[in-house]
Structure 1
Amino acid sequence: MSGEAALIPDDGAFSDFRNECLSEEGWSLTYNKSGTTVWVQILEEEKSLHKIKCRMVCKDVSAESMYDVLHDIEYRRKWDSNVIETFDIGKLTVNADVGYYSWKCPKPLKNRDVITLRSWLPMGNDYIIMNYSVKHTKYPPKKDLVRAVSIQTGYLVQNQGPACCTLIYLAQVDPKGSLPKWVVNKSSQFLAPKAMKRIHKACMKYADWKQKHNPGYKPWLYPEQNPLPSIPLGELRIQHAESLENIDESSLTEGKEEHSDDEAN
């Protein structure tokens, strides 16, 4: 495989991600309501390339429970109505793996998918999960989906007390295509807040669900439980946007949707 070798993030990368989650410099506030705040950074107007950051204060969810919900792929298939398909491909270390995720985009845009290297780390009272796009020869782009690129996406969960936490979602994703401006506006003012509310709702129901679905199984906390095959890091390369087909959807107008959802991955 040609291209830049994939790397597993070190402690410095986790610290940098946390600092960006907590910084407000260079961000434009687009939404602030009911304990949820959204900011955006427009990076390249003509390519619709932007960063989005969402913060939600949860006064009735522990940081540990939030961390479990964000990790639990079986539960995600239940609560994330936006998911088309998601599965783990293999493990790299005790706190890094590779996975596939495809999701529904607002109509009439084409749906997207990603292959990502995901890593996670508890840091004091904080928990961090973050990912970036990689390519694997066994999982090339599909004909019916646009392969997007996660430049850096992730969650910071901060413990604010026994049953209180703050969740920050930070995403820089290249959607691989020229998107209409309404997509960015809709993401920041409607889809992102809706996604955060759905995560909160999922957290409230998780304990009951987990009690009936393999309650002791949490490989993100207990690596010895992880059944995934090991993948040599050398099989992965960083997925750069330039090597993927660009789709021009800039002229598409917003379609009517039954229940469109977020693009959280």
Structure 2
Amino acid sequence: MNSPEDRECPEHNRERVDHEPSSSVHIDGDDDERTALLSPGISPESRTGHVSKERRTFCLFTFFNCNLIVLLWLIMVSIKSSQTGISYTAVVLEEVVQTDVSKTSFDITWLAIFRATVLLLAYAACKWKCRFPVASTTCITSGYAFFKILHTDYSGENSYKFVAIMMPITTFVVAWIEALFMDYRVLPKEQRATQRVHNQHNLHVRQHQSPRGEHPPTQEDDFHSLSEFVDGMDEGDDDLDLDLEDISHLSNEERQYVQQGEDAMRNVISMLGMESVWNKEKSRDDGDVYTLIGPNNMKIFILKMSLLCPPEVVYEEVMLRPERMPSWNRAVIDCQVLMRISDHTLVTYDVSAGAANGYVKPRDFVNVRRIEKQGQRYISAGMSTSHEDKPPSSDFVRGNNDSGGFIVQKNSEQRNACSFIWILSTDIKGSIPRYLVNKSLAEIMFAFASSLRQHLKDTHTQHRPSSGAVPRHSRL
């Protein structure tokens, strides 16, 4: 239910929603064409077989061009009828049955209808991915337009002659626009999208087939995130065989929480493997924010930053002590640990602060989180869930988190530094327009980054573990 208190004004378009994300996410491609990208049962071909946004635009443009030529012909017929004194119907019949191309313009109309029919059948109905239909119709249209201009009788000073001249010129121009749009926009972008889906599908398959913790590297960036993740997973590392934890003593409800956490973890790792298709949204001194399009065209936001702090400190402060987050993050007013199911899995209750002087109500979230140490990286992944102790309340709007979380990775180039990634995919519900939420989330992530830096700066001197010491709960 949309709360009447959720009134959003243009001047108050930033809502504080700062919490750890989560819920099973299957990465979508852009509106253009990748659905359920992480679902292993769906092949890349089925995900890329539908009509892309660019192809739809091309088909609409083709239909519009056909209507434009028909409209020009009707205008010409109307002008000719009024100037010659012949009835409109008689002029139409004369144009249609006339076989001398020098005395009629209806042939250009037929040509436009023919071209539109061929292109729509080829690219909309049959979904061809070749240039032959548009290339052949453009050649035919261009050749006939030249022929028409050279063999048409334009003698006389009647104004309808001007429209008759414009028709072959217009059909020539629009035919080439269609050809260029298909050749330089539609097909290349669809080919790139298809290749990305195949690559991501293959990556997902490899991740499920390879031993746990092994992930193929992608291109390096300023934070060395993915390359460091792989390099940091040494063969001699312990704490890698996390799937061997004993859950036989857990209840069915607790096992469901564990399964949700594992699903969120797999999705987060898959999103990390898709780093090559992240789109940079904003960049500041605190870090960079990237986006990825998720289900229902929802944006997944990704914050990447470097921290001059050992990864164990960030791990302990952010992942192991979520209930302390309200003390240093003003965007969170409450965080409670409802259940500690195992060393890896817990259920939390988070409340984000309201915004816009009360126009935006606080949101609350019930999340299941899974925490793992994989080599030299720490991951806290989660998703929204439900818990009997925290049903929806009229005091807050219950939000929903898709798979996301925090990743901390040791920086191999600096001894006391690490890379930090926050993946956020959230639906805050309520009546706030989605585009306003998207505009605010990047700013919220930067605010979180600034708060985290300050908190670590204030507490770093208190976290100097002796050599080889590991914080409590770190041996997951």
- Normalised by the length of structure 1, the TM-score is 0.70
The reply to whether residue 196 of structure 1 matches residue 196 of structure 2 is no
Q: Are positions 1:69 and 2:69 aligned together?
A: no
The question of whether the paired residues in 1 share the 8 Å contact of 2:261 and 2:381 is answered with no
Moved more, 195-204 or 70-79: 70-79
1 CA distance for matches of 2:453 and 2:260? 28
Pairwise CA distance, 1:74? 5.0
Q: Tell me what 2:278 maps to.
A: 27
Select 2:418's aligned residue among 165, 185, 195.
165
Aligned equivalent of 1:89, options 322, 338, 342: 338
CA radius of gyration, larger in: 2
Counterpart check, 1:185 vs 2:185: no
Matched residues, percent identical? 18
Separation in 1 of the partners of 2:268 and 2:429? 23
What is the aligned length? Answer: 214
Which residue number corresponds to residue 227 of structure 1? Answer: none
Structure 1 unaligned blocks of 5 or more:
224-265
Report the CA distance shift for 1:134/1:10 in structure 2 as closer, same or farther (over 3 A): closer
Q: CA deviation at 1:169?
A: 0.2
The one-letter amino acid paired with 1:220 is: H
- Deviation digits for residues 38-94 of structure 1 (CA, Å, limit 9, x no counterpart): 01234467xx83211100012x21111111110223542320112221111111111
Q: CA deviation at 1:164?
A: 0.8
The answer to whether the 8 Å contact 1:120/1:127 transfers is yes
More strand by share: 1
C-alpha distance after superposition, 1:5-45 (max 9, x if no partner): 44436778635423413533443311112251101234467
How many Å separate the matches in 1 of 2:471 and 2:377? 18
- Alpha-carbon distance, 1:196 to partner: 1.0
- Structure 1 residue aligned with 2:380, among 116, 119, 129? 129
Unaligned runs of 5+ in 2: 1-251
1:17 aligned partner: 268
CA distance in 2, matches of 1:172, 1:130: 12
Aligned residues of 2:380 and 2:407 also touching (Cα < 8 A): yes
Residues 1-265 of structure 1: matches in 2 within 5 Å?
5-8=256-259, 14=265, 16-21=267-272, 23-34=274-285, 36-43=287-294, 49-58=298-307, 60-70=308-318, 71-73=320-322, 75-107=324-356, 108-160=359-411, 161-180=414-433, 181-188=435-442, 190-208=443-461, 219-221=472-474
- Looking at structure 2, the residues matched to 27 and 64 of structure 1 have their Cα atoms a distance apart, in angstroms, of 27
Change (3 A) 1:178 1:192: same
Structure showing the higher helix proportion among its residues: 2
Alpha carbons 2:371, 2:381 under 8 Å: kept: yes
Instruction: Tell me the CA shift for residue 147 of structure 1.
Output: 0.7
